[in-house]
Amino acid sequence: MNTESNYQARPVYPPAETPIKQRSDSTPGCARFGKITRVALLLFLAAFPLQLASQTKLRVVTTNVNLAHLAERIGGEHVQVHSLMPPDVDLHYQDARPDYIIAVNRADLFIENGLELEVGWAPLIQKRSRNAAIQRGKPGYCDASIGIHVLEKPTEQISRKQGDVHAFGNPHYLLDPVNAAIAARNIGRSLIRLDPANADYYKKSYQELALSLRDLITTEIRKSANLRELPVAVYHKEFTYVANRLGFKEAASIEEIPGIPPSAAWLKKVSEQIKQSRIRIILVTPYHRRSYADTVARLSGAQVLVLPDSVNPAEGINTYEDLIRLIAKKLRDAADVNGAVATRQINRE
């Protein structure tokens, strides 16, 4: 199965002209009428390729490219998949743009990350789409987070003063392959619900993906022994789940309050904490403001490591497996360069 993804509706061309049985009346007028009718029919079909495609393929819209990739891996030739967001964007803060609303209006299946990651914009898009089939609780809606073992659930009542704290826990679960397999299972069940005729295809595709993810976990954990107990600083909490899987520790945060730019006083304070704790690596994503991490790196002597969090064919990250392998390799290389093994031994003393 081809696992590379472009997350765009693929053009489906109209079928070749079906021979039309000649009428017994062979007068010139009737012949011209038949020819004109056939030409008009072909023009009509050519003008509406996507409408024709929708008769045979489920139109799937996701909130992010990782979910789009999983949907394509499972749905294959039976789906047209479109991600509302491009790779490497902050899914907390987006707008309900008209083109997003139109895409969701035409969807057979709408898949979101869940755990309130898109709470600021996805529900509004759903409502404005006026597509009853994809509303929460309907057959065309899929919350990919169902069944996930959620980390960092708040134990106390939260308020806006605490910043971008999610009431149901950390929503960045997709960077753990175990959770990606659970999300894929949820997607597969949704496809089967809408298209039971192709249930065997979806089940087989899911099983192949789940096996690939299981092998990925085994291999990367074995390779990443030097990451066990490795302390790192992070800008935001995107890497909590992959840290939990590979064994490294988020020991400091550049954000004082989640979702709010840190103050100069906090940057100075956290820099001292990082220096005292001998933390050598600061993790950021491509979409966060790099200057904050650079300031902390300069004050503490740590290295800024930019890690992707999305499948991105334009950057050579063609599959989910590519993404996890790249994250793990970058971390291993940074740990070696920064003498992380010695640092870890010192921290245990």
pLDDT of residue 80: 98
Q: List the alpha helices (DSSP H) in 109-227.
A: 122-129, 177-194, 199-223
**Residue 33's pLDDT band (boundaries 50, 70, 90)?**
very low
pLDDT of residue 55: 56
What pLDDT digit, counting tens, does each position of 70-90 carry? Answer: 999 999 999 999 999 999 899
More confident residue, 205 or 92: 205
Among 342, 266, 254, smallest CA distance to 305 is for 254
Distance CA 332, CA 241 (A): 17
- The pLDDT > 90 percentage for the chain reads 73
What pLDDT digit, counting tens, does each position of 238-264 carry? Answer: 999 999 999 999 999 999 888 889 999
Position 59 pLDDT exceeds 90: yes
Among 246, 251, 117, smallest CA distance to 177 is for 246
Position 269 pLDDT exceeds 90: yes
**Residue 22's pLDDT band (boundaries 50, 70, 90)?**
very low
Between 47-56, 57-66, 81-90, 209-218, the lowest mean confidence (pLDDT) is in: 47-56
More confident residue, 167 or 335: 335
SS3 325: helix
pLDDT of residue 19: 39
**Residue 32's pLDDT band (boundaries 50, 70, 90)?**
very low
Position 10 pLDDT exceeds 50: no
| Mean pLDDT score, 332-348 | 66
Domains of the chain: 53-144+151-220 (3.40.50.1980), 224-348 (3.40.50.1980)
Q: How far is CA 146 from CA 112, 226, 348, in A?
A: 11, 32, 38
- Cross-strand partners of 312: 317
- For residues 254 and 271, the answer to whether their CB atoms sit within 8 Å is no
Distance CA 210, CA 32 (A): 58
Q: Kindly tell me the sign of the dihedral angle through the C-alpha atoms of 227, 231, 232, 234.
A: positive
| CA 259 from centroid of its chain's CA atoms | 20
- Cross-strand partners of 82: 61
pLDDT of residue 27: 42
pLDDT of residue 41: 41
Position 131 pLDDT exceeds 60: yes
Distance CA 142, CA 106 (A): 16
pLDDT of residue 20: 34
pLDDT of residue 278: 94
Between 167-171, 225-229, 278-282, the lowest mean confidence (pLDDT) is in: 167-171
The CB density around residue 95, as the number of other CB atoms within 10 Å, is: 10
| Mean pLDDT score, 208-228 | 97
Position 207 pLDDT exceeds 80: yes
- Identify the residue whose tokens are 């005292």: 276
What are the helix and strand counts (H, E) for the chain?
12, 8
